[in-house]
Amino acid sequence: MGRDPLPLPEAGWMPTAAGCARHWPGAAACRWKCGNACDRPALNPTAGETFERVLRRFLSRRAFLRGAAAAATALALRPTYTQALGHRSPQVGSEAGREVPHSGLTFEPVPLHTDDRILVPPGYRVQPLIRWGDPVLRGAPPFDPLQQTPEAQRLQFGYNNDYIGFFPITESAGSRALLVVNHEYTNPELMFADYQEGAPTPTHVDVEIAAHGVSVVEITRSGGTWTYEPAAPRNRRLTGDTPMLITGPASGHPWLQTSEDPTGTRVRGTLNNCSGGKTPWGTVLTCEENFNQYFARLADLPDDDPRKAVHRRYGLPQGASERRWELFHRRFDVSQEPNEAFRFGWVVEFDPYDPTFTPRKRTALGRFKHEGAATVLAPSGHVVVYMGDDERFEYVYKFVSAGTVDQANRAANLDLLDHGTLYVARFADDGTGEWLPLRFGEGPLTPANGFTSQADVLIRTRLAADLLGATKMDRPEDIEPHPVTRRVYAAMTNNTQRTAAQVDRANPRANNRHGHIIELTESGDDPTATRFTWDIFLLCGDPQADDGVFAAGFSVERLSAISSPDNLVFDGLGNLWIFTDGQPSALRKNDAVFAVPVEGPERGFLRPFLSAVPGAETASGDFDAAYETLFVSIQHPGEGSSYAQPSSRFPDGDLPRPSVVAVWKSAGRDKRIGS
């Protein structure tokens, strides 16, 4: 059944201390996902220039250049909409004398909708693969939401699945693989029939902790359909209590030492695992994002304690947390364990093929609200990791390893991410930019400004980036390098707090409700370069509502509306697939999955492929090795409603359960997704 669309905020609405979920029903996710981050002012109000201001100058400069003959010639080479319609097959065309591939995207776009069903194009099928509470490990009981226990949840698929990574099992000839799935956060009001706001029971809290983390499940393909294998030997659950190591420059630092771990080298659990990535040597990078919301009572820390200002910069609550975990676990009470929060906000690496591998928090990659960690192997053999800090006015980062990948010895690469240089991006309004190194002793990162070591710089990554004058962005989320061209695509989800005085070339709009995607080219196409050029690839919005939509120069007349780009992935032909988080509020439509070519005559031709269910985001996705199946995270279906009266009953017609779905083509000879 359908439902009424969520109302948009009233004109002139801005978040207030009363909570964005109350004033803006479509933003109910803010409460559990990010701790109502949009209710508070920006955490770095005086640091660096905003991308919006840079982008405004950039667009002004570009408009001026368009009047020049050289620019006119360049624009004439842009494909038109009619040209795109005439080239809808995977052939090779020509653009400016250069042969370019056609996208191969021939699917019929789906309409964005508000129904409680997943919509895919004609000729495609979609089915749930695994859902919250399904058995993962041996001994897991059948799912019973009325009798859920922490012991059961530790053996079952977790809640609110986000990142998906497909890892082939090479000896299976493509018929088996491991699917790695993050579990970002929990919605207790949808999980427990007896949940009372502000007064969880110890069982509620411990089930929630067990429902966080990561699941690894073996999947098997038969006749085109994938199923998962309960209790397969490589299946694994990581939770908020799983023992992990802290490695890299910050390991053992005094601020990482607690009463439970005086060494500062071991930590219990991983929390708020949003997106992630794969390394060239086949391990997983799972990313801790909005970790701040799990902690409480920052106000009780003395004002002269230097840790208090750092915790404030990362958004820890002054009083009680929303979740109230601190009622039963002292490690979440800052007044009792001031250092525990420093042990979160990292990128965690583990080996999905080895269920005995102890996960490592790689401190060399910096501490902030990591959305994802996408890797690329540079021509020199160094590995580069692109990352975004997913909060309003935060930064874009990359890490370059000190060592190089050993292609012949997988084990030799397992500590490669403990040594290297972390950079933060500064965008200029002439379409150029630079990567600024966060190295202790260089520039302002010295004892004169309060920094004592490289470990200190990494623990306080945000403050170090502030001092360097990095460009403040509109919620940098997934940042993905193209597998062939090496151009980098960075999703800026939205930022309604950006004012007209804060616009810049890279963040071009005030009150940026819809977000945009930046296309970045490293100098010399070398991911290790310290300079780059950039442009706007996609300004999201509704073309029918005069939202200023821009799609790489492609005609917007037939483009779909799109809002709040979140995660990105490329298919086998190099097309970009976009997963959204925020369309119910911004467009009054369910979140969706879109495909858009980034090369050739169809560059910028955006089309919706999948439309999800009420309350859910299409959090992430990945393809199988043959690009014949697309796995999609349907996260928090029914969010914004209640256990008794859910707005969605996906996937089984009763209790809404976050799920991974598989989409494949059931008709036609070409089985590739999108064809």
pLDDT at residue 563 tops 90: yes
**DSSP 3-state of 622:** strand
At 296, list the tokens. Answer: 């409480």
Is the pLDDT higher at 81 or at 528? Answer: 528
- Cα–Cα distance between 70 and 78 in angstroms, integer? 13
How many other CB atoms are found less than 10 A from the CB of residue 76?
8
Predicted pLDDT of residue 439: 98
pLDDT at residue 64 tops 70: no
| Mean per-residue pLDDT, 70-79 | 30
pLDDT at residue 273 tops 90: yes
Q: Which is it for the CA torsion 27, 31, 35, 36, positive or negative?
A: positive
pLDDT tens-digit readout, 301-350: 999 999 999 999 999 999 999 999 999 999 999 999 999 999 999 999 99
- Cα–Cα distance between 137 and 158 in angstroms, integer? 12
| Mean per-residue pLDDT, 529-540 | 96
pLDDT at residue 96 tops 50: no
pLDDT at residue 66 tops 50: no
| Contact between 357 and 383 (Cβ < 8 Å) | no
Predicted pLDDT of residue 511: 84
Residue 545 pLDDT level (bands cut at 50, 70, 90):
confident
Q: Which is it for the CA torsion 137, 142, 148, 149, positive or negative?
A: negative
- Cα–Cα distance between 477 and 275 in angstroms, integer? 9
Is the pLDDT higher at 9 or at 514? Answer: 514
| Mean per-residue pLDDT, 127-133 | 97
Predicted pLDDT of residue 55: 67
- Cα–Cα distance between 455 and 444 in angstroms, integer? 15
How many other CB atoms are found less than 10 A from the CB of residue 194?
10
Predicted pLDDT of residue 45: 66
Q: What is the DSSP letter of 627?
A: S
CA 663 to chain centre: 21
- Cα–Cα distance between 670 and 123 in angstroms, integer? 11
Predicted pLDDT of residue 2: 32
Q: Which of 15, 8, 27, 32 is nearest to 582 (CA)?
A: 27
Predicted pLDDT of residue 101: 55
Pairing of strands 360-362, 243-247: parallel
Q: What is the DSSP letter of 140?
A: P
Q: What is the mean pLDDT of the chain?
A: 88
For the chain, give the percent of residues with pLDDT over 90.
78
Count CA atoms closer than 13 A to 413's CA, side-chain side: 22
Residue 295 pLDDT level (bands cut at 50, 70, 90):
very high
| Mean per-residue pLDDT, 350-372 | 98
Is the pLDDT higher at 200 or at 497? Answer: 200
Q: What residues contact 248, with CB distance under 8 A and at least 6 apart?
A: 361, 362, 363, 364, 365, 417, 418, 419, 458
Is the pLDDT higher at 99 or at 202? Answer: 202
Predicted pLDDT of residue 20: 40
| Mean per-residue pLDDT, 626-632 | 97
pLDDT at residue 665 tops 50: yes
| Mean per-residue pLDDT, 192-198 | 96
Question: Cα separations (Å) of 544 from 84, 381, 558, 602?
Answer: 20, 47, 10, 21
**DSSP 3-state of 267:** strand
| Contact between 370 and 162 (Cβ < 8 Å) | no
| Mean per-residue pLDDT, 583-595 | 96
Question: Could you tell me the pTM of the whole model?
Answer: 0.89
| Mean per-residue pLDDT, 576-597 | 96
pLDDT at residue 151 tops 90: yes
Question: Cα separations (Å) of 33 from 101, 293, 617?
Answer: 39, 8, 12
How far does the chain reach from its first CA to its final CA, in angstroms? 30
Predicted pLDDT of residue 13: 25
| Mean per-residue pLDDT, 164-174 | 88
At 560, list the tokens. Answer: 């779909």
How many other CB atoms are found less than 10 A from the CB of residue 381?
14
pLDDT at residue 100 tops 80: no
Predicted pLDDT of residue 643: 96
- Cα–Cα distance between 173 and 220 in angstroms, integer? 11
pLDDT at residue 87 tops 90: no
Predicted pLDDT of residue 196: 95
| Mean per-residue pLDDT, 119-142 | 97
| Mean per-residue pLDDT, 431-437 | 97
Q: Which is it for the CA torsion 384, 240, 634, 14, positive or negative?
A: negative
Predicted pLDDT of residue 91: 27
At 618, list the tokens. Answer: 């299409």
Predicted pLDDT of residue 174: 79
| Contact between 568 and 491 (Cβ < 8 Å) | yes
